[in-house]
Chains A and B, each alone.
Chain A
Amino acid sequence: MIEVHETVQYTTPRRMAYAALLHHCVNIGFVMLLVAFGLYASGLVPAHVALDSLPSQWGLSAKDFMAKNQLRGGWSWLRLLNRGDYLCFVGLAFLSLTTVFCYVRVLPFFLREKKHALAVVIVAEIVVLLAAASGIFSINH
């Protein structure tokens, strides 16, 4: 006999909490991305690497591109937020952090329900994602 753990309405509080936060984060992330790209592409915010020079550079590897434009890896783009091309990274980074936000949001539900195995999985996933985000997995530097 299958053990049924979800409610008949299929909308457990943790699932609703995850979905609601995900919905808000995605909307915020896309607005950030669109606004930043609009500012960048329109030239209202100057780019670090001039848009007109990109067709001669986007065939370079990431390593060569960074070397040519005196860029560093990791979170160094935070110092270039006054440049349109790196302002777009705010939206991209926010979207890439969304899963961490959602996992932190649902962790208390699993702890309250004493689902310890899944709580451990959640904590491990947060650690993996934060480690990836930290920049320790570097190839070029």
Chain B
Amino acid sequence: MIKRLLLIGGMVLGLLPVVMAAGGTELPVDALAASGMPWWGWCLLLFITTFLIGIVAVIGGVGGGVLFVPIVSGFFPFHLDFVRGAGLLLALACALSSGPGLLHSGMANLRLVMPLALVASSSSIIGSMIGLALPENVVEITLGLTIMAISGLMFFTKRMDFPVVKQQDRMARWLDVSGIYHDPSLGSDVEWQVHRTPLGMVLFFFIGILGGMFGLGAGWANVPVLNLVMGTPLKVAAASSGFLISIANTSATWVYLNNGAVLAVITVPSVMGIMLGAKIGQRLLKRIRAANVKRVVVIMLLLAGLRAFLKGTGLWV
């Protein structure tokens, strides 16, 4: 029953943008803004949308930001600047609130995260400056292409629970990156180390740029790089990714804040909605098949990315 409800909820969330956009073919964004709905009506709609995103994102194993930015920028009357500012802040808020738990679990590792976060947070400043300087339609088009690529990445990439790392690279040894955690599903301790750290850093540089440019949390990219490239166990990768977002997103957030690209009336309901939804999602996580929801998330990303692309090209305003 819950599974069915959740799938219906996911499909409604997936269709919500399409329904709104169907109006959007006749009602351009400016007209939507002048449609007579009061500010609190938009806030309420935003809260409901982000609440659903929060549920689906947790179960689908993605950060809320990657769903929030394309959906809200594509189908709400807010300028992309404010949507990206809100996207960064909600990804930051979610990552910060989950941080203590991830650290207590022993799976998020400070020594793994800190060097990578330094690279990503530096490049996310560059990304956010590029994103704020480019014309809106260019950002929309590239956002659409990026989101569609992410949906492809999610669909095709296989992850490994325990990648084999025969030898640490020199940089990992120098930075002292290795660890141990207790895996309850195995009932034993798991020791891990990493390799290809320099390549990982280069990739995190580009992840930071994309995150800052589009206002996305970058869990969709962090986990595959940590897991498949650097060889961290999947659970360490997932936990460290969440923790990494809390650091890497901070610098881009400041650039958006300092450039006036944050509106409280958009940001606060979004943060509250997604955090509440994430809490419900965490409870539902054990009771439903995540694989089904992941398929819905991939489809949602594809639709939202396509919408952003078409909006940017002017084919579907």
Whether B100 pairs with A19 at a CB distance below 8 angstroms is yes
Total A-B Cβ pairs within 8 A: 216
> Would you call A62 and B82 a contact (CB within 8 A)?
yes
* Complex Cα gap A18–B114 (Å): 12
B contact residues, total (Cβ < 8 Å): 76
Give residues of chain B (72-128) contacting chain A, Cβ–Cβ below 8 Å. Answer: 77-79, 81-82, 85, 89, 92-93, 96-97, 99-100, 103-106, 109-111, 114-115, 117-118, 121-122, 125, 128
Q: Please give me the residue from chain A that is nearest to B97 by CB atom.
A: A26
Is the beta-carbon distance between A140 and B259 smaller than 8 angstroms? yes
Given the interface pairs A56-B33, A121-B175, A125-B121, the reply to whether A99 lies near B246 with Cβ below 8 Å is: yes
Query: Which secondary structure characterizes the binding site on chain A?
Result: helix
Bound-state Cα–Cα, A122 to B111, Å: 10
B34 & A71 in contact (Cβ 8 Å cutoff): no
**Can you list, as one digit per residue, whether each of A38-65 has a CB less than 8 Å from chain B (1) or not (0)?**
0011000000000110111011111101
Residues of B contacting A: mostly: helix
A selection of 23 A-B contacts at a CB cut-off of 8 Å is: A19-B103, A22-B246, A26-B97, A26-B99, A34-B268, A34-B272, A55-B42, A56-B33, A58-B82, A59-B29, A75-B258, A88-B267, A89-B257, A89-B262, A96-B254, A98-B96, A121-B114, A121-B175, A124-B118, A131-B125, A132-B252, A132-B254, A132-B255
Tell me the B residues contacting A by CB distance below 8 Å.
29-30, 33-34, 37-40, 42-43, 77-79, 81-82, 85, 89, 92-93, 96-97, 99-100, 103-106, 109-111, 114-115, 117-118, 121-122, 125, 128-129, 132-133, 136, 174-176, 178-182, 189, 191-193, 246-247, 250-255, 257-268, 271-272
